[in-house]
Structure 1
Amino acid sequence: MPSPGARLRAAWVEQPIAIPGAFNALTAKLAERLGFAAVYLSGGALSAGWAGLPDIGLLSLTEFVEQAAVIARATSLPLLCDADTGFGEAINVVRTIQLFEQAGVAGVHLEDQVLPKRCGHLSGKALVETSAMTAKIRAAVEARRDPDFVIIARTDARSVEGFDAAIDRARAYRAAGADMIFPEALESPEEFAQFAERVEGPKIANMTEFGRSPLLTLDELGGLGYQAALFPLTAFRAAMRAVELTLVELRNAGTQRGIVDQMQTRAELYELLGYTNWEQRDRAYFTETPTES
């Protein structure tokens, strides 16, 4: 079977792909069932949903990798992961790539911010020198064992140094060996189009809500020259709103009876989990007649 990285590459070559954020393993399983080609583990979703922390680089490499491994085991879809700034300098990036690859991940993206990092669509960001980022990319490329493991270089330069600087950085990152470029926080369809025209190779767009970028459709992005689009917190935000409304109803009414019809049923959950298959296995283990030697 092709490696996760090879499957991710094959998916975006065939057609532009939407990559939804999977903030837990069950979300990844549901995305697979619904026909998505890949899933994404966002640092923002992991920080908020798993640890209750802001996305400013507070989680460690091992915390990221542990959760990535859980999701990778739960689905056959290739998993793309946010690797923040690489968890250190170029030498640290070597171990970062090794651990993510060992966890069964298809690829990661590294960003050119300094620590403490910020959400890509907020102010207050600062960037490392281009040479420092290209060193990280070269380290990442050298560290991977599978040549198809995907190394994506994200640049936050648009909001810090300007659009042309983002172009220059992206070109340098491609020259350093990045497989794909991730321009963060572009501000108009025209900027997305110009960026794609001026930077060679595969590109991925971030369609996060409430940010600087317009919410373009996958077809629109494909027409502009992008191979993939991330929807990092879309499902997470919808889920958190549903949780809030459910808790408000429970607090106010003292019962969940009025909203049961809005819930995933027990049968639906068990079917998604493959519960029956596990029961059948359990019975088989205890009823199978041992083979005499």
Structure 2
Amino acid sequence: MTSKTLRRLIEEKPFVTCPGVFDLVSAKFADRTTADALYMTGYGVVASYLGLPDAGLATYSQMLDRVQIIAQTVHKPLIADGDTGYGGLLNVHHTVRGYEKAGAAAIQLEDQQNPKKCGHTPNRHVISVKEMVNKLAVANDARSSKDFLIIARTDARTQLGLDEAIRRGEAYAKAGADIIFIESPESEAEMRKIGMALDVPLVSNQLHGGRTPILSQDKLREIGYRMAIYPTAGLLATAYVLSNIYSALAEDKPVQEPLYDFNEFSSLIGFQEVWAFEKKYASLEAD
């Protein structure tokens, strides 16, 4: 899927919905829905790939590997979490080029200090506005196409207050960001204030279990948002089901959770193509 498709969705659709994906199975399921785009969640990828918290522990190379393999698997545009750009200005340049080449339609860059943390956890600190503006200037120059979108996220709300977060959103838009992401507003009133203050495409992080209210898409659109990401819904649902099923198996109890059909799952991950290949080349294997 070309990145041009995501820009067109933002420009033409009243609202763009992006479920969070964290591995290849979740990406395949989300790709089959009517969602507009997919969001590769750093929180979920670090948890599923490394078994670690999203606290600046994953490297650029590890995340790029996930971007590439997910982007090559799905048909919908993929928005990829790029954390802080994994270092200074040269790192940001390298990261933007790498994510774009890997097939992402957009990269999310944030203004946290290193090591960064999940945006709905405590003890986050932000860099100066000037530092982030410089990063965005480099990111803007690094991309080979303007259709590869830059999402600028600020985590200033928790540490410095909503007004400072809005001020940063304005500065980041002027620095070349295509979409502004103000992390973790704590009420609908705060979200409405953001929507009224910023005349640029806004994304809401609808993180289940986080600080921000979960609102309907109609409500989000009404108060000024053009896009929503849902990073944790699929991950937490999967964790809940796995916890119950594995406990039941360990205790020799019947599995109570509904199970996805085995044959349908085999089809989802490509066994039909394997069988078709084996049938086509059966005579060669016989030789």
Q: TM range, normalised to the smaller chain? A: over 0.9
Q: Which amino acid aligns with 1:151?
A: I
Summarize the alignment of residues 1-293 of structure 1 with structure 2, pairs less than 5 Å apart: 4-13=2-11, 14-253=13-252, 258-259=254-255, 262-286=258-282
Mark the CA change 1:198 to 1:261 in structure 2 (over 3 Å): closer, same or farther: closer
Displacement of 1:286 after TM fit? 4.6
Contact residue 26 and residue 74 of structure 1 kept, 8 A:
no
Displacement of 1:260 after TM fit? 7.2
Aligned-CA RMSD value: 1.5
Task: State the distance in 1 between where 2:260 and 2:80 align.
Answer: 27
What number of residue pairs does the alignment pair up? 283
Mark the CA change 1:276 to 1:173 in structure 2 (over 3 Å): closer, same or farther: same
- TM-score, normalised by the number of residues in structure 1: 0.92
Q: Deviations over 1:212-265 (max 9, x none)?
A: 111111111111111111100110011011111011101111x6xx22771112
Q: Which amino acid aligns with 1:99?
A: G
Task: State the distance in 2 between where 1:28 and 1:276 align.
Answer: 19
Secondary structure of 1:249's counterpart equals helix
Displacement of 1:68 after TM fit? 1.1
Gaps of 5+ in 1: 289-293
Displacement of 1:28 after TM fit? 1.4
Displacement of 1:143 after TM fit? 0.4
Gaps of 5+ in 2: none
Q: Deviations over 1:66-106 (max 9, x none)?
A: 01111111111111011111101122100000111111111
Task: State the distance in 2 between where 1:287 and 1:146 align.
Answer: 47
Q: Which amino acid aligns with 2:24?
A: A
Q: Deviations over 1:170-200 (max 9, x none)?
A: 1100000000000101111111111111112
Task: State the distance in 1 between where 2:155 and 2:165 align.
Answer: 7
Q: Which amino acid aligns with 1:46?
A: V
Contact residue 39 and residue 79 of structure 1 kept, 8 A:
yes
Q: Deviations over 1:84-132 (max 9, x none)?
A: 1110112210000011111111111111010121221122111101000
Mark the CA change 1:110 to 1:287 in structure 2 (over 3 Å): closer, same or farther: same
Mark the CA change 1:130 to 1:27 in structure 2 (over 3 Å): closer, same or farther: same
Contact residue 90 and residue 132 of structure 1 kept, 8 A:
no
Q: Deviations over 1:143-184 (max 9, x none)?
A: 011210010000011111111101111110000000000010
* Partner of residue 291, structure 1: none
Q: Which amino acid aligns with 1:12?
A: I
Contact residue 203 and residue 225 of structure 1 kept, 8 A:
yes
Secondary structure of 2:100's counterpart equals helix
Displacement of 1:278 after TM fit? 3.0
Task: State the distance in 2 between where 1:206 and 1:236 align.
Answer: 15
Task: State the distance in 2 between where 1:281 and 1:17 align.
Answer: 37
Q: Which amino acid aligns with 2:272?
A: T
- TM-score, normalised by the number of residues in structure 2: 0.94
Task: State the distance in 1 between where 2:120 and 2:74 align.
Answer: 30
Task: State the distance in 1 between where 2:25 and 2:36 align.
Answer: 16
